[in-house]
């Protein structure tokens, strides 16, 4: 059984992560899938998907600050749109995440949330959610 839907995400800063765990679980719950996996993908090239801590917002601040140190927005680049760093960051963090499903729920650790990672906002974005299982 396969269930597919897209989740709209609106970012408000150049770099930020947005917790989409609730939106993903909602799409999963609207299917009859009890056991399997769900794949969450960014449909863009300057935004990725990751899983990280949902308790202390400082984790997200450190994450983006450290990525900025590694891949500075203002290093010398060829691409003329001013977002070369965003493309590199998206590929470093990854464009998708695949999560187990049991009893109709995303299987996540206690501190885990699913994050949409914006690296070139603010923008209106789309995330695809594909649930597959039985």
95 binds a copy of itself (CB under 8 A): yes
The answer to whether the CB of 62 falls within 8 A of the CB of 107 is no
What is the x/- site pattern for a copy of itself, positions 21-60, by CB under 8 A?
Answer: --------------xxx-x-xxxxx----xxxx--x-xx-
Residues 6+ apart with CB under 8 A from 30: 3, 5
82 binds a copy of itself (CB under 8 A): no
Instruction: Output the CA torsion 128→21→132→31 (10° steps).
Output: -100
Q: How far is the CB of 117 from a copy of itself (least distance, A)?
A: 8
Q: How far is the CB of 31 from a copy of itself (least distance, A)?
A: 12
- Single out the segment in contact with a copy of itself by CB under 8 A; choices: 7-15, 21-29, 83-91: 83-91
Tell me the HSE value of 77 on the side-chain side, using a 13 A CA sphere.
15
């Amino acid at each position: 059984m396969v269930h597919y839907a897209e989740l709209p995400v609106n970012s408000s800063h150049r770099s930020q992560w947005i917790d989409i765990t609730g939106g993903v679980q909602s799409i999963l719950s609207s299917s009859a899938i009890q056991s399997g996996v769900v794949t969450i993908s960014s449909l863009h090239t300057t935004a990725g998907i990751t899983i990280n801590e949902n308790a202390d917002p400082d984790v997200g601040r450190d994450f983006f600050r450290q990525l900025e140190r590694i891949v500075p927005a203002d290093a010398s680049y060829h691409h003329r749109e001013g977002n070369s760093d965003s493309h590199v960051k998206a590929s470093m963090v990854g464009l998708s995440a695949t999560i187990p499903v049991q009893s109709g729920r995303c299987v996540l650790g206690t501190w885990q949330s699913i994050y949409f990672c914006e690296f070139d906002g603010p923008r209106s974005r789309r995330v695809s959610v594909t649930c597959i299982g039985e």
